[in-house]
Structure 1
Amino acid sequence: MRFFDWIKDFFGIEQSTVYLNQQAITTQEVQLAVRDFAICSAINLISGAISKCEFKTYSNGNEFKGDEYYLWNVEPNKNQNSSQFIQEFISKLLYYNECLVLDINGQLIIADDFTQTEYAVFENIFSNVIRGTMKFDRSFKMSEVLYFKYCNNDIQQLLCNLMTGYNNLLNMAIGKYKRSGGRKGIAKVDKTPSGDSEFQKKVDDLFNNRFKSYFEAENSVIHIPKGVEYIEQNGEGNKKSTSDLVDISKIIEEEFDRVAQAFKIPPALLKGDIADIGKLTDNFLTFCIDPLVDLISEEINRKRYGKKVFLKNSYLKIDTTCIKHIDIFSISEAFDKLVASGGYSIDELRIKAGDIPLNTDFSKKHWMTKNYTDIQTVKGGEE
């Protein structure tokens, strides 16, 4: 079917006047990966933050650096350092809503794929476990692995369903913006020579080739055969409007807001706003990072330490204070108060500030100024 005949057949009319781009506009769909970009931005923000945390290990209530500390903070396996491992682990947990970590000969290995068989009373079984090109030829019990599940509902599926509506609105807004700046015109074709095959070929070539080159070129001249009249349609409606761009930006911003809401991230923080960054970071740590690290540390403690050892005050704790950048000059007054009140030793605060401890007798002690004393020892009156 020739292009011109196809246009007339589509509109179901025998008119000789056809508006260009009308069919292209109705079928045009603009597909943008805004949802995936927003999700990846959120996951990278969370995984990058947790990779900065220190996985502290304690033995009988005292901080202790041993094999377990080295495993989580330096080298979990031969192919990854701790930052790479934690970022991959958190990314899989958030993106797929679950993550499986194996202990293979003292190395922590993240599974790429697995099958879980669930039971009500007995331990769940993990089979068909794959890492890279390797498939493990055995099954694993729940007590033999670290299994993390982010939430009961699949956040990916929920976001996908929610974003479908936003994508439709986005496609409509982009289509409106493109139409507002497009070239428009009316072509009138004389009916009388329509049976001429040579004339039909010229019309086909005009609509299929020459008009396309004419509209795409910055400067161009087109020859229109006899029997065809083209009238350019210019006016205010053809100019691009700032409001159209604002509509597109608002829809994209709405998608980022919904993704941030799903991952409990302050929307302004995900979009890169720097106003009130301190409050945004505190909100991010409280509602997003802290619940996530609690989930991780609980699974590690119950599987790698166990009830008896844990109750003897030996456990792993994830320190999230490492996430925020600390300027020692801005915290000098608070530093002094913490030492003077006996809350922390000098070495403890030096470590939190990112400096090395002095490891001296006085730096390990807890000090208290004379301003702090037991209220019961204070005497009033002349005494």
Structure 2
Amino acid sequence: MGFLDKVFKRNKELGYSFDLDFMDLFAKKSERIHMKRLAIETCISFLARTVSQTEFRVKNGSEYVRNELYYRLNTRPNKNMTASTFWQKFISKLIYDNEVLVIQANDGDLLIADDFYHKKYAVYEDRFTDVIVRDYEFKDSFKQSEVIHLKYGNEKLSNLLDSLFYDYGDLFGYILKGQKRKNQLRATVDMDMLAAKSGEKQAKLQEFIDNMYEAVEKKDVAIIPQQPGFEYKEQSGNGIAGQSVDEINKVTGGYLDQVAVAIGIPPSLIRGDMADVEKQTKNYMFFSVSPLLKKIKEESDVKFFTKKELLNGNCIETRKPSYRDIFDLATAVDKLVSSGVFNGNEVRSELGKETTDEQIHKEYFITKNYQSGKEAIEGGDNE
């Protein structure tokens, strides 16, 4: 029995030691988690800020109307959020959690769910239960037709980023430790233990050593008085080679680039590079922002309008934020109108401006440069 007691005691000690090792490993990982949070917040916020500048216009046939729905989508979705804040949170949850749920309260407020349970059916409408907004849980269940529910991809982005961070986090930690060791202050202390046999003398010696280390660590100039039986020798860094700060920045930047690529943002835009910025922005708007806005439009159309209303021309249209100055397009606009391809209202619609009832914006014009020789001559004779 005594032998078994020793075995059980030894196993208990091993388990306790393992727990300490695990907690130490977790703490080390947590110290480097800022690299992951910085990359994710930078990329998701970048995309969310872009989408939040979108204007969601309500189209009633051939006209655009400013009604309650327009107000909810563009000004005040609910009592506690502006439209820009609402859409930033919407995009953040959609990308990081892979899905987002928006419900409509009894007073018309649009609320983003922080948590919910999605019950799926094969031939019936899906239902959403246990919907939590902030600290309030809704008791009712919501049908698929009563909510805005979007999924971003086939797999949670957070799972991909976690696996990617595992390798980058280790590499970042190794480089950071090497950089700390590079210029680390190192010293040795020689003590005559015969001079500190008593407990009182040992306590005073320990206090002296603690004060000395604190002075060396925190003060620019530290004066250490010589003590009998005590000698302090500083070894400095001994020329230990380590990675430069540039290596740390490269690892951090590499992880940031991988996160940006996963979301669909050109890394050069995140870094603020000025080379080919217009081309990169165009690709970003076409391949990342436009598909995301199309998902939001399609989901909003079927939830805010009936089938009959949609067939009659009622829908939600998204006006994307323009990345080009309207004056830079003046020459192209002139060519489109003067060639008779577009009228004024059609050009205004493409530029994101509302159409007008002015007759001049409804007519088509063809200048002499685009007329045939006979038409140009006849036009000249008439004039």
Band the TM-score falls in, shorter-chain normalisation:
0.7 to 0.9
What CA deviation, in whole Å up to 9, does each residue of 1:217-258 have, x standing for no partner? 10011135433332211366268x7x5101110011011111
Written as runs of structure 1 = structure 2, the 5 A alignment for 1:319-334 is 319-320=319-320, 322-328=321-327, 330-334=328-332
Cα offset, 1:157, TM superposition = 2.0
Q: Is the 8 A contact 1:206 1:224 kept in 2?
A: no
Structure 1 pair 90/343, CA: closer, same or farther in 2 (3 Å)? farther
Q: How many residues align?
A: 345
Greater relative contact order (Cα < 8 A, sep 6+): 1
| 1:368/1:305 CA distance change after superposition, 3 Å | farther
For residue 94 of structure 1, what is the aligned residue in structure 2? 95
SS state at 1:123 partner: coil
Q: What secondary structure, in the 3-state scheme, does the structure 2 residue paired with 1:342 have?
A: coil
Q: 3-state DSSP class of the match of 2:305?
A: helix
Percent of aligned positions that are identical: 33
Cα distance in 1, alignment partners of residues 317 and 168 from structure 2: 40
1:49 paired to 2:50: yes
2:112 corresponds to which of 64, 85, 110: 110
With over 3 angstroms needed to count, the CA separation of the structure-2 counterparts of 1:356 and 1:236, relative to structure 1, is farther
CA distance in 1, matches of 2:245, 2:225: 35
Alignment partner, residue 17 of structure 1: none
Please report how far the alpha carbon of residue 289 of structure 1 lies from its aligned counterpart in structure 2 after TM superposition.
0.8
Which residue number corresponds to residue 318 of structure 2?
Answer: 318
2:361 matched to which residue of 1? 363
Give the corresponding residue for 1:126. Answer: 128
Show the counterpart of 1:280: 280
> For 2:238 and 2:336, how far apart are their aligned partners in 1?
67
- Deviation of 1:130 after TM superposition, in Å, equals 2.2
Tell me, what secondary structure is at the counterpart of 1:200?
helix
How far, CA to CA, are the matches of 2:324 and 2:111 in structure 1?
30
**Structure 1 residue ranges without an equivalent (≥5):** 1-26, 378-383
Query: For the residues of structure 2 that align with 1:130 and 1:327, how far apart are their CA atoms?
Result: 44
Bigger shift: residues 307-316 or 267-276: 307-316
Q: Which moved more, 1:46-55 or 1:244-253?
A: 46-55
**Correspondence 1:175-214 to 2 at 5 A:** 175-190=177-192, 192=194, 195-214=197-216
**CA offsets, 1:335-371, max 9 Å, x none?**
2112123343334445655777664211232323344
Inter-CA distance 275–360: structure 2 relative to 1 (3 Å threshold): same
Secondary structure of the residue that 2:239 maps to in structure 1? helix
Instruction: State the 1:170 CA deviation.
Output: 1.5
Q: 2:167 aligns with which of 165, 178, 201?
A: 165
CA distance in 2, matches of 1:244, 1:129: 50
The TM-score normalised by the length of structure 1 is: 0.80
Residue 325 (structure 1) shift: 4.0
Following superposition, the deviation at residue 92 of structure 1 comes to 2.0
CA contact (8 A) 1:76 1:82 kept: yes
Supply the distance in 2 between the matched residues of 1:354 and 1:299 (Cα, whole angstroms). 21
Q: Residues 279 and 299 from structure 1, CA distance in 2 versus in 1: closer, same or farther, beyond 3 angstroms?
A: same
* Counterpart AA for 1:250: K
Return the offset for 1:302.
Answer: 2.3
Deviations 1:170-189 (CA, angstroms, capped at 9, x unpaired): 12222222222221122234
SS of corresponding position for 1:274? coil
1:140 maps to which residue?
142
Distance in 2 separating the partners of 1:276 and 1:334:
21
Bigger helix share: 2
Counterpart contact for 2:186–2:237, Cα < 8 Å: no
Task: Decide whether aligned partners of structure 1 residues 36 and 196 sit closer, same or farther in structure 2, where only a CA change above 3 A counts.
Answer: same
Look up the match of 2:153.
Answer: 151
Distance in 2 of aligned mates of 1:370 and 1:139: 65
* 8 Å CA contact retained: 1:202, 1:225: no
The alpha-carbon distance between structure 1 residues 171 and 206, as it changes in their structure 2 partners (threshold 3 A), is farther
Q: CA deviation at 1:117?
A: 1.4
Q: Which runs of 5+ in 2 are unaligned?
A: 1-26, 376-383
Q: 3-state SS of the aligned residue for 1:33?
A: helix
Q: Match for residue 380 of structure 2?
A: none
Distance in 2 (alpha carbons) for counterparts of 1:224 and 1:345: 93
Q: How far does residue 292 in structure 1 lie from its aligned partner after superposition?
A: 1.0
Residues 6-85 of structure 1 mapped to structure 2, 5 A cutoff:
30-60=31-61, 62-67=62-67, 68-85=69-86
Partner of 1:295: 295
How big is the shift at 1:213?
2.1
Other structure's SS at 2:65 match? coil
